[in-house]
């Protein structure tokens, strides 16, 4: 009985994370759809280039990375999973290079996430020795302080910042690490720094949530509702998206572009 209850709680926990990931995936698909409208099809959507679009983009990116770090511990073969995500990122780079060179993606989000998972394999034991609350705070600060490292400085520009030497931004290795060279171009760029720091924030967030027994509280509340005949369904279309996020991410961009291209072609012939 106890084993069944623990299995049920693990499933409920994953349902919640998959729902959150699915919701964020919908956000990302909508964002990329509007990006295509503005930068490929020439639509004038002024608010998208304002602070609203910037905040929306940052929210999507940060949520994805934190969730990935949170879920890192669930993977049975962490190295294999990291390599799979990394290769998926390479496939996207190859496809965009061949079919959409003007919108090529190099060192995109999947390449970064796969790299973070691979880096975590030898470093997890060391990170595990650090108190989760301290680790969460330290790596969150590191992420904030290095967020604009691709622009040539660390810190917060209006408060305290340090310009970095240009020689740090010199080649493909530095670009991969988060220090892009001058001639580098990618429509979706995520350097290892600062995003690895946020990935680790997600890793520590899982430990904090486990320590606070928040999952246990949520599951107990759900069980009470079900005892009263109130059934809360966690699995649906959003959950399905979350459970298949890798393949959905890989195919959504050509699908969205294809749909929009078809719409504009039909519209132009009317």
Q: Please check the confidence at residue 189 and state whether its pLDDT lies above 70.
A: yes
Query: 7 pLDDT band (50/70/90 cuts)?
Result: very low
What pLDDT is recorded for position 6? 47
Domain, as residue range, for 138: 2-269
Can you state the angle between helices 78-99 and 245-269, rounded to 10 degrees?
A: 20
Mean model confidence pLDDT for the chain: 88
Q: Which residue has the higher pLDDT, 1 or 257?
A: 257
For residue range 60-83, list pLDDT tens digits in order: 999 999 999 999 988 889 999 999
Q: Please check the confidence at residue 222 and state whether its pLDDT lies above 70.
A: no
Q: Please check the confidence at residue 258 and state whether its pLDDT lies above 50.
A: yes
Q: Please check the confidence at residue 226 and state whether its pLDDT lies above 70.
A: no
In eight-state DSSP terms, residue 147 is T
> 242: closest CA among 24, 13, 28, 7?
24
How far apart are the C-alpha atoms of 61 and 79, rounded to whole Å?
23
pLDDT-above-90 percentage for the chain: 66
Summarize the confidence of residues 152-175 as an average pLDDT. 93
- Tally of structural domains, the chain: 1
DSSP letters of 186-249? -SS---HHHHHHHHHHHHHHHHHHHHHTHHHHHHHHHHHHHHTT------SHHHHHHHTHHHHH
């Amino acid at each position: 009985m106890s084993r069944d209850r623990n299995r049920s709680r693990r499933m409920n926990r994953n349902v919640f994370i998959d729902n959150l990931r699915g919701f964020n995936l919908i956000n990302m698909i909508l964002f990329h759809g509007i990006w295509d409208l503005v930068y490929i099809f020439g639509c004038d959507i002024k608010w998208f280039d304002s602070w609203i679009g910037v905040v929306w983009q940052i929210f999507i990116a940060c949520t994805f990375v934190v969730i990935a770090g949170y879920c890192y511990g669930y993977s049975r073969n962490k190295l294999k999973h990291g390599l799979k995500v990394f290769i998926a990122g390479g496939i996207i780079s190859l496809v965009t290079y061949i079919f959409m060179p003007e919108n090529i993606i190099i060192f995109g989000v999947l390449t970064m996430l796969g790299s973070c998972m691979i880096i975590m394999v030898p470093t997890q034991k060391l990170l595990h020795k650090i108190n989760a609350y301290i680790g969460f705070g330290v790596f969150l600060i590191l992420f904030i302080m290095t967020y604009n490292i691709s622009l040539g400085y660390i810190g917060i520009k209006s408060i305290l910042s340090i310009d970095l030497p240009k020689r740090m931004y010199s080649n493909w290795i530095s670009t991969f690490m988060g220090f892009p060279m001058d001639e580098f171009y990618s429509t979706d760029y995520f350097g290892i720094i600062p995003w690895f720091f946020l990935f680790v924030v997600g890793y520590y967030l899982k430990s904090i949530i486990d320590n606070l027994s928040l999952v246990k509280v949520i599951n107990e509340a759900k069980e009470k509702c079900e005892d009263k005949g109130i059934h809360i369904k966690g699995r649906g279309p959003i959950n399905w998206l979350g459970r298949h996020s890798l393949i959905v991410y890989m195919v959504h961009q050509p699908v969205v572009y294809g749909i929009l291209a078809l719409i504009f072609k039909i519209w132009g012939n009317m």
